[in-house]
Structure 1
């Protein structure tokens, strides 16, 4: 399960890290002035901060199923990437801003909750579990922007954001697979201990 979760983290973080590297440049390419593009990044980042804090507060009140929420957040983030792609293609500023806020806010606001869920499900080895999955996340954070940059150069921002949307969806799907594998492992361990 940890390898699947690490791959999920890699894919989702790869898509998200591309925002930090290319959002402002993409906004300028879409028709925003440099100052306005910077404001789009500030707005999107502020939404990301707010969502992380809110999700953390709510996680303390929720009973569990945090990986499901994380997968949902990553999937909604994929919609944000799709909106960025369409906003770039159509030079539609409102659609672009919507995509930036959704991709940054919801689509990148999940990683604290991911780590919380991981530690909850690995109480006897939290360092090992986070070490494995964080490796995936860091690889994605390095590889994602590199791939995005190559895509921007060859197919433009529209194609790059569309691929990021697909990457996020693959990450969400892989996370659900990892969650399923984890539940099966926990079920087997519970049956053995009875």
Structure 2
């Protein structure tokens, strides 16, 4: 008989607050660096290529460690993993604040990829212990609002800093907020439970939990591929929105306001989409995910027009639709593999992180010296391809049933 990981019994407001706070803590650094890149460039040699390298390093480490992080979370418990993640992010932000060169910023941001790899397996395991139906669905949506909340923080800081070069105090302030996250993380399981959890995860990884699962391995492959392509598009958005706005003739204050508005739109989209998905099974939820990604592709096209109105409308559409799918997507993943949540999350999140590696590098390679229009068009193609893969995953779910 195959062992499974029992979901955490920690429920309630503190569980959601702890997960949300930790997700913000590990998600904010790359967006913060991307948003403040212009101000950082006034005190050191730091440009778009350095932003791409730093963000890619962050996601590369996250992607490489993600499949193993689920095993670590099963061994130490999700609450302990959240505490380690928050502490690691705080130390990385201190490194960014003290950095005197682009190489130091890249190194600090890359190392934050280690704690970032722990968060999704730990979060999904904790949230799986919350009551079923719309309560759990809303929790998934609320927690996934952490990433747009991170871009909201970065946008607010940009609006405050504006054209000045005082970016270091902004980074120190965020590091202090991240340190405070430890206060809201719930208590973890007893150490005596660690070994059974690790053995359970090993059983899952050996394939027991996947045998007879809905849609079979091809469903998981489509979900991982779709997450990868969607992440190529989404992680590029906050990293290069500021420089795109500057190229379009928009002031830093307006860019910050647009990023804040887009972040709020994304938060609302994630919560509403997940809430509506609570009444559906994953197959129907995936259809909504695919439609959102297709709509987001249009937003990226508008960003590529280089006009002020295209920047405004495109940013809102890209944030709300092209980046508002995550909560509903993760909810669908847990419904597809309810007995191997940490294992399958490690795979899909690995796709998300690997997309974060490729997205900024791809954008920077295409954009070169100011060719932001073609770069956004390539990103739009990635989003459209992601929508097609999610549609294929839904088809496997509907038609395949249980595949041995």
TM-score by shorter chain over 0.5 = yes
Contact 2:266/2:321 (8 A) holds in 1? yes
TM-aligned CA distance change 1:38 to 1:135, over 3 Å: same
Q: CA deviation at 1:44?
A: 0.9
Structure 1 stretch 73-82 or stretch 118-127: which is displaced more? 118-127
Deviates most, 117-126 or 130-139: 117-126
Within 2, Cα distance between the matches of 1:59 and 1:173?
A: 20
Structure with the larger RCO, 1 or 2 (CA within 8 Å, 6+ apart): 1
* Structure 1 residue matching 2:304: 3-state secondary structure: helix
Q: Aligned partners of 1:62 and 1:38: how far apart in 2? A: 36
Q: Distance in 2 between matches of 1:94 and 1:15?
A: 20
Select 2:289's aligned residue among 38, 46, 70.
Answer: 70
State the match for 2:319 in structure 1: 104
2:323 aligned counterpart, secondary structure: coil
Q: Determine the structure 2 residue equivalent to 1:80.
A: 299
User: How far 1:180 sits from its partner (Å)?
Assistant: 2.0
Could you give the per-residue CA deviations for residues 129-176 of structure 1, whole angstroms, max 9, x where no partner exists? 221111101100121111111111167110011001000001111111
Query: 2:243 and 2:319 mapped to 1: Cα distance?
Result: 15
**Conservation of the 8 A alpha-carbon contact between 2:271 and 2:327:** no
TM (norm. structure 2) is 0.44
Task: Say whether residues 1:55 and 2:269 are aligned partners.
Answer: no
**Where in structure 1 are there 5+ consecutive unaligned residues?**
190-194
Q: Distance in 1 between matches of 2:310 and 2:350?
A: 34
Where does residue 117 of structure 1 map in the other structure? 332
Q: Corresponding residue for 2:162?
A: none
CA distance in 1, matches of 2:389, 2:292: 14
Aligned to 1:176: 391
Question: Is 1:46 matched with 2:232?
Answer: no
Taking the aligned partners of 1:185 and 1:131, their CA distance within structure 2 comes to 23
| Structural RMSD (CA) | 1.6
Contact 1:78/1:166 (<8 A) preserved: yes
Q: SS of the residue aligned with 2:339?
A: coil
Q: Which residue in the other structure is 2:243 paired with?
A: 25
Q: Is the Cα–Cα contact under 8 Å of residues 296 and 318 in structure 2 kept in the other structure?
A: yes
1: CA distance between counterparts of 2:377 and 2:264? Answer: 23
Q: Structure 1 or 2: larger helix share?
A: 1
